[in-house]
Chains A and B, each alone.
Chain A
Amino acid sequence: GQQLNQSPQSMFIQEGEDVSMNCTSSSIFNTWLWYKQEPGEGPVLLIALYKAGELTSNGRLTAQFGITRKDSFLNISASIPSDVGIYFCAGQRSGNTPLVFGKGTRLSVIA
């Protein structure tokens, strides 16, 4: 099945550093979402974006919906150990259509 192109695949960073990851698609999505998944758990919604160009924050997390509607970015500022996990982007064509996911970015934070 289709998957979005998500990069980087994995990151090892020092505590306190900022993190950036992105997601691209060959087709347009009208909603972009970012989820975090920890071992043995389901994905937890972090940020939802509904409008091209939108920039939304949730605490230390900031995400942007690309103007072309084919990409999205997630930034995490001042990383802490509990940020460890796999971050997934997901695109949705309209409100009731299935989510299309990226392969995830695995984040490791070194204290």
Chain B
Amino acid sequence: DAGVTQSPTHLIKTRGQQVTLRCSPISGHKSVSWYQQVLGQGPQFIFQYYEKEERGRGNFPDRFSARQFPNYSSELNVNALLLGDSALYLCASSGGTGADTQYFGPGTRLTVL
């Protein structure tokens, strides 16, 4: 079975632009979480979605938004990009119920110039 997939792999944007990142969870998983990982740090939670509903949101500005589609895939949008948004953006999928383990995709490396 395929694991969590993310696209694109790498992305270069300039300040002020907008970006959309995509994630497809493991087949059968209904929950998707997004994390931001800046260099030298552990991942930081941004959003969690389950059955298309937002279940949780981390301490990120309103420039960050996300949604989940009926097939459980998800998009993360970031508007008005800042240099500090440069990071590895990770998507994790889980079943969504009970003691769920989160499995991570390879990430999208975003560079803001």
Q: Which residues of A contact B (CB under 8 A)?
A: 1, 3-4, 6, 31, 33, 35, 40-45, 48, 50, 88, 90, 95-104
Contact = CB atoms under 8 A, between A and B. Distances in A.
Contact of B45 (A40, A88, A98): A98
Contact of B56 (A3, A40, A88, A97): A97
A22 to B, nearest CB: 15
Given A45-B103, A50-B99, A99 B55 contact: no
Contacts of A95: 97-100
20 contacts: A1-B45, A31-B99, A33-B102, A41-B106, A41-B107, A42-B105, A42-B107, A43-B43, A44-B104, A50-B99, A90-B42, A96-B48, A96-B50, A96-B55, A98-B33, A99-B35, A99-B45, A100-B45, A103-B42, A104-B41
**B interface, how many residues as a size bin?**
20 to 34
Interface of B: 4, 31, 33, 35, 40-45, 48, 50, 55-56, 58-59, 90, 92, 94, 96-107, 109
Nearest to B45: A98
B106 A101 contact: no
B99 A98 contact: no
Most buried by A among B42, B44, B59: B42
A63 to B, nearest CB: 14
Contacts of A99: 33, 35, 43, 45, 92, 102
